[in-house]
């Protein structure tokens, strides 16, 4: 007999060799039908793989991310099996699950959407057959034999460290080199759909072979799949890349380079509105604005630890003619630390809050950049607060309140996630003591705030734990945006000090925080959240004035001059078009208000006001219009 311990601390005895699926079924038939994957002693485990001794067991269903991941991983294999059955010469490379879909990179020329129906039909055939999905551990030599004619699998095999287990998974007469785990059988996969096919380079390297990346998605029921497809259609209509182009907000140019957006005047106006809002809040809260360079000596980032723990995310080193080494900055914090260290500091100076709209650069593979949400150069509404340890909890709470103010102003709902260091600690810098202090302080602050939150090990920054805000947009998608982070490590690495009330030197603590996170990503999310129909205070053009005829132009421009003087962003459409066509154009541009001017409006010194969405608000005097717009913009 073996002892199996569940997450609630309860234990039960089972016969040695029992499987997680059998344990789930012994608990209840409903759980037995719903369970998709297991974790045994912290390791992901196939449901049909026997336990080999006492174990801590967790069971995952569709409601758990781990369950959905295994479901879609098995869906990837089902798709690959179907492709191989239809196209025997296809070479399968790798096929990971993603958050709401999956893909497989395939060496197959000419694969197109016209093949989707045949592949889906074959997937349905294999799902109906309900093949058992069987794990088999093999020697390296056996794996080399099995994949002797497949250079891609041999490369994957070569990347598996010596001594690590090598496993294949079989379903029917098809098998694949895979770490797993998987569902018990293909019949568990109930509803699926192929989505698209795109090009991708093997291992993301443009020097390697170009492959076909076949995307699909799957759900436990056709109803859930249909709902997902509907959300995808809505997402396509809201796609910030499409809307950004139609509304003239930003430009993505291959000549400039992937992941490096150009902001148009309208897009810049939108960004400035966001910056102006947060800048006003910073001034109220005692921040001081700073500006730092876009590049720095590699020595700065060696000192901070980024050249060690963050090197893969940094652009290559640049060397000057005299041998000095520089790098594009991936973060702003070492610059702010240098500013802090440039003068002696007293306990009376703290907290010292330094803020910057700082542009940073991070290396992303060309296949991974997209629109504004994944870029190589982006601007953070960044700040670093230097403070005494006894000030940490209250200051942290204040920073959280600022993030919530920003999200509230924009009507964005959120969940909070505490990111802690992973147990192995391999990708972090700093001492165990510093990490213990910072994690305890952050958790204390979150408890005092009474915030509901999840905890994610391995999601900490390289120097400290963080509280991330996962924002839900109008159609339910989630985005990681604002963050507040605690850092005992970098003050220690840079030897920062302040003179305490006792006259002795003490070490300050740091808070890193960015309510927007990346302005690029935040703006992309806002475009999709509002479907380009921004609230008045954010809209690049807030009012468009539409004179019906040339004789109404003087009053139209007088109205525009008054509104501009009151701080509003105004355009006059004086084109020789019918007013109905002008209204239609303004609607397409998603302008919040249209002020139509004809003979009656000129005579009454007023406008006929229309709101976005073709709502006629009637005639309104100019002074009343100004007050109405001011009130709406303020709220």
Is 178 designated active site?
A: no
Do 483 and 510 lie in one domain? The reply is yes
Q: Tens digits of per-residue pLDDT, 271-316?
A: 999 999 999 999 999 999 999 999 999 999 999 988 887 788 889 8
Do 360 and 319 lie in one domain? The reply is yes
Q: Let me know if residue 68 belongs to a domain.
A: no
**Residue 425 pLDDT > 80:** no
Do 566 and 489 lie in one domain? The reply is no
Is 437 designated active site?
A: no
**Alpha carbon distance 294, 304 (integer Å):** 16
Is 380 designated active site?
A: yes
Do 559 and 469 lie in one domain? The reply is no
Q: Let me know if residue 414 belongs to a domain.
A: yes
Q: Let me know if residue 244 belongs to a domain.
A: no
Do 224 and 273 lie in one domain? The reply is no
Q: Let me know if residue 240 belongs to a domain.
A: no
- Output the domain CATH number for residue 190: 3.30.980.10
Q: Which of 512, 529, 552, 610 is catalytic?
A: 512
Is 599 designated active site?
A: no
Q: How many domains does the chain have?
A: 4
Please say which residue of 184, 216, 235 terminates a domain.
Answer: 235
Q: Which of 72, 362, 513, 529 is catalytic?
A: 362
pLDDT score at 234: 85
Is 554 designated active site?
A: no
Q: Let me know if residue 333 belongs to a domain.
A: yes
Do 586 and 610 lie in one domain? The reply is yes
Is 552 designated active site?
A: no
Longest dimension (CA), the chain: 95
* 123 phi and psi angles, rounded to 5 deg: -60, -45
Distances, alpha carbon 611 to alpha carbons 11, 76, 578, 615, 617, in Å: 63, 48, 18, 5, 7
Q: Let me know if residue 253 belongs to a domain.
A: no
Least confident range of 20-29, 466-475, 538-547: 466-475
The residue segments making up the domain with residue 23 are 2-61
Contact indicator for 463, 490 with CB cutoff of 8 Å: yes
Q: What percent of the chain has pLDDT over 70?
A: 99
Contact indicator for 216, 194 with CB cutoff of 8 Å: yes
**Residue 508 pLDDT > 70:** yes
Calculate mean pLDDT across residues 501-527: 93
Q: Which of 68, 91, 466, 552 is catalytic?
A: 466
Q: Let me know if residue 172 belongs to a domain.
A: yes
Nearest to 520 by CA among 413, 404, 377: 377
Instruction: Kindly write down the DSSP assignment for every residue of 204-256, as one continuous string.
Output: G-TTS-EEEEEEEEEESSHHHHHHHHHHHHHHHHH-HHHHHHHTT-EE--TTT
Do 610 and 488 lie in one domain? The reply is no
pLDDT score at 444: 86
- Output the domain CATH number for residue 51: 3.10.20.30
Q: Which of 380, 391, 439, 542 is catalytic?
A: 380
Tell me if residue 37 falls in helix, strand or coil. strand
Taking phi over 0 as left and psi of -120 to 50 as alpha, with beta for the rest, 458 belongs to left
- Output the domain CATH number for residue 431: 3.30.930.10
Do 568 and 460 lie in one domain? The reply is no
Do 214 and 170 lie in one domain? The reply is yes
Contact indicator for 193, 217 with CB cutoff of 8 Å: yes
Q: Which of 115, 381, 382, 468 is catalytic?
A: 382
Do 346 and 487 lie in one domain? The reply is yes
Do 606 and 463 lie in one domain? The reply is no
Is 306 designated active site?
A: no
Contact indicator for 262, 520 with CB cutoff of 8 Å: no
**Per-residue H/E/C for 51-116:** CCCCEEEEEECCCCHHHHHHHHHHHHHHHHHHHHHHCCCCEECCCCECCCCEEEEEECCCCCHHHH
Radius of gyration of the chain (CA): 29
Distances, alpha carbon 373 to alpha carbons 29, 513, 520, in Å: 43, 19, 6
Q: Let me know if residue 505 belongs to a domain.
A: yes
Could you tell me the pTM of the whole model? 0.76
**Alpha carbon distance 399, 331 (integer Å):** 19
Q: Tens digits of per-residue pLDDT, 538-580?
A: 999 999 999 999 999 999 999 999 999 999 999 999 888 899 9
Q: Which of 182, 188, 333, 513 is catalytic?
A: 333
Contact indicator for 216, 196 with CB cutoff of 8 Å: no
Residue 191's beta-bridge partner residues?
219
Do 216 and 274 lie in one domain? The reply is no
Q: How many residues are listed for the chain in this entry?
A: 635
**Residue 337 pLDDT > 80:** yes
- Output the domain CATH number for residue 556: 3.40.50.800
Q: Which of 153, 238, 384, 513 is catalytic?
A: 384
Please say which residue of 235, 254, 276 terminates a domain.
Answer: 235
């Amino acid at each position: 007999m073996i002892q199996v311990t569940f997450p609630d601390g309860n234990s039960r005895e089972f016969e040695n060799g029992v499987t997680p699926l059998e344990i789930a079924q012994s608990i209840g038939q409903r759980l037995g039908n719903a369970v998709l994957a297991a974790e045994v002693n912290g390791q992901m485990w196939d449901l049909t793989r026997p336990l080999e001794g006492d174990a801590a067991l967790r069971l995952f269903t569709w409601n758990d991310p781990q369950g959905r991941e295994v479901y879609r991983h098995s869906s990837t294999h089902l798709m690959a099996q179907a492709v191989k059955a239809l196209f025997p010469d296809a070479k399968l490379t790798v096929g990971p699950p993603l958050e709401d879909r999956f893909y497989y990179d395939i060496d197959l020329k000419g694969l197109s959407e016209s093949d989707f129906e045949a592949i889906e039909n074959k997937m349905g055939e294999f799902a109906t057959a309900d093949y058992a999905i069987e794990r088999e551990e093999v020697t390296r030599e056996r794996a080399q034999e099995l994949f002797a004619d497949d250079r891609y699998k041999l490369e994957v095999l070569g990347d598996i460290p010596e001594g690590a287990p090598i496993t294949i998974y079989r379903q029917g007469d098809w098998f694949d080199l895979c770490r797993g785990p998987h569902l018990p059988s293909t019949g568990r996969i109930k509803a699926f759909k192929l989505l698209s096919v795109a090009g991708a380079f093997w291992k993301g390297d443009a020097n390697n072979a170009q492959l076909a990346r076949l995307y699909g998605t799957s759900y436990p029921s056709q109803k859930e799949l249909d709902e997902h497809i509907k959300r995808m259609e809505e997402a396509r209509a809201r796609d910030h890349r499409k809307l950004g182009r139609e509304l003239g907000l930003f430009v993505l140019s291959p000549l400039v380079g992937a992941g490096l957006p150009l902001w148009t005047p309208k897009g810049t106006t939108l960004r400035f509105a966001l910056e102006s809002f947060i800048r006003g809040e910073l001034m109220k809260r005692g921040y001081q604005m700073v500006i730092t360079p876009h590049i720095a000596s590699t020595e700065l980032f060696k000192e901070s630890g980024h050249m060690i723990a963050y090197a893969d995310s940094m652009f290559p080193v640049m060397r000057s003619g005299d041998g000095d080494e520089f790098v594009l900055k991936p973060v702003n914090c070492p610059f702010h630390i240098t500013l802090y260290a440039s003068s002696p500091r007293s306990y009376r100076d703290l907290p010292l809050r330094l803020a910057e709209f700082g542009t940073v650069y991070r290396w992303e593979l060309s296949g991974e950049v997209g629109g504004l949400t994944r870029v190589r150069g982006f601007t953070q509404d960044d700040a670093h607060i230097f403070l005494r340890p006894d000030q940490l909890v209250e200051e942290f709470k204040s920073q959280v309140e600022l993030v919530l103010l920003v999200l509230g102003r924009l009507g964005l709902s959120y969940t909070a996630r505490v990111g802690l260091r992973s147990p192995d600690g391999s990708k972090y810098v700093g001492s165990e003591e510093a990490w213990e202090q910072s994690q305890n302080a952050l958790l204390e602050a979150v408890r005092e705030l009474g915030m509901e939150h999840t905890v994610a090990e391995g999601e900490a920054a390289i120097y400290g734990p963080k509280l991330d805000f996962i924002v839900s947009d109008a159609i339910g998608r989630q985005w990681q945006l604002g963050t507040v982070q605690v850092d005992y490590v970098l003050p220690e690495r840079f030897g920062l000090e302040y003179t305490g009330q006792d006259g002795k030197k003490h070490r300050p603590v740091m808070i890193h925080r960015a309510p927007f996170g990346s302005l690029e990503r935040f703006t992309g999310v806002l475009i999709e959240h509002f479907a380009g129909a921004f609230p008045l205070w954010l809209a690049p053009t807030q009012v468009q004035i539409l004179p019906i005829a040339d004789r109404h132009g003087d009053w139209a421009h007088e109205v525009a001059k008054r509104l501009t003087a009151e701080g509003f962003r105004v355009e006059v459409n004086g084109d020789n078009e019918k007013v109905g066509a002008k209204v239609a154009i303004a609607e397409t541009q998603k302008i919040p208000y249209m002020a139509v001017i004809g003979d009656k409006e000129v005579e009454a010194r007023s406008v006929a006001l229309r709101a976005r969405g073709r709502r006629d608000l009637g005639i309104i005097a100019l002074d009343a219009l100004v007050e109405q717009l001011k009130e709406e913009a303020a709220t």
